[in-house]
């Protein structure tokens, strides 16, 4: 073996490079693990917020919607409290949202807790008011929507963003079909239908723009990565179209179609969950 000074210097340099490469890989793995832990912790915060909101709604359901005969004297107090909660929830929603946006603009990482508080205040205010106004009609819908929002948060943090869009639009469709079964073709359903179609159409336009720019979106002259390259855009298009058709179908075919359409949308979202899970492997 050559034991010249040049050979020793070469070996020393190679060992140093190997050490640097090993340290670099270790640092990369540490950073990735830390990022994954942060994402997981944020998801847990959203789930904890959903649990608290659900407990509040369960209390309203128990002591207002399904009050016992001995508790009827307190219903007027509950009505006042729920009205106050509506206005307080909206005010706190705006305040926490503005606070969260301010923090997020600072370093791009903070503000999650403020967003959770904003969403929780809005859900308590609006959900409580809906149960105040529509009682047994609104209660099941409110109690089911809160866990649905928790599932939506899990999808946002664990899955690809296009699947989040699919679940968002599909979830709006399921809620709308359930609403139709409760209130039939009323003004409330028509307003919800218009809102859902606008959301679905806006998502389709956004998906079309992102596809043209390889998942990048220009915001204030800066490119922001919204979707990864090779995103499954057709999955969203099909979901948006299917949701729109199923929301319109009960207007022509009646409430029975709304019941079966709920299962159709649920089955479609389950198929997408399997599909996107397989893409993660």
Residue-wise pLDDT tens digits, 223-266: 777 777 778 889 999 999 999 999 999 988 888 888 899 999 99
Query: 49, 120 in Cβ contact below 8 A?
Result: yes
With residues binned 3-state (H G I as helix, E B as strand, rest as coil), the percentages for the chain, rounded to 5, are 85, 5, 10
Alpha-carbon separation of residue 172 from 29, 183, 228, 246 (angstroms) = 38, 16, 25, 11
DSSP-based three-state secondary structure for 217: strand
pTM for the model stands at: 0.77
Which pLDDT tens digit goes with each residue over 34-63? 767 777 888 888 899 999 999 999 999 988
Which residue's entry shows tokens 């490119």? 223
Residue 253 CB coordination number (10 Å): 12
pLDDT of residue 113: 87
Query: Which tens digit of pLDDT belongs to each residue from 148-176?
Result: 888 888 888 888 888 999 999 999 999 88
């Amino acid at each position: 073996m050559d034991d010249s000074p040049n050979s020793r210097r070469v070996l020393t340099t190679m060992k140093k490079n190997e050490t640097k490469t090993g340290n670099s890989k270790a640092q990369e793995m540490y950073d990735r693990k830390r990022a994954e832990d942060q994402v997981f912790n944020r998801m847990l915060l959203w789930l904890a917020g959903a649990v608290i909101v659900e407990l509040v709604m369960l209390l309203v359901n128990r002591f207002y919607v399904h009050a016992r005969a001995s508790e009827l004297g307190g219903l007027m107090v509950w009505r006042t409290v729920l009205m106050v909660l509506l206005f307080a929830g909206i005010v706190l929603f705006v305040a926490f949202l503005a606070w969260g946006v301010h923090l997020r603009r600072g370093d791009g990482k903070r503000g999650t807790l403020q967003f959770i508080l904003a969403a929780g205040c809005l859900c308590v205010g609006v959900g409580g008011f809906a149960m105040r106004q529509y009682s047994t009609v609104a209660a099941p819908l409110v109690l089911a929507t809160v866990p649905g929002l928790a599932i939506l948060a899990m999808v946002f943090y664990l899955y690809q963003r296009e699947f989040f869009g699919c679940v968002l639009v599909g979830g709006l469709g399921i809620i709308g079909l359930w609403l139709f079964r409760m209130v039939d073709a009323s003004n409330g359903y028509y307003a919800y239908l218009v809102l859902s179609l606008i959301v679905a159409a806006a998502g389709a336009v956004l998906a079309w723009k992102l596809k043209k720019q390889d998942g990048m979106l220009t915001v204030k002259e800066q490119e922001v990565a919204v979707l990864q390259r090779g995103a499954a855009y057709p999955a969203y298009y099909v979901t948006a179209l299917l949701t729109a058709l199923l929301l319109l179908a009960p207007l022509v075919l009646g409430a029975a179609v709304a019941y079966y359409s709920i299962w159709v949308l649920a089955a479609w979202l389950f198929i997408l969950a399997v599909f996107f899970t397989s893409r993660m492997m």
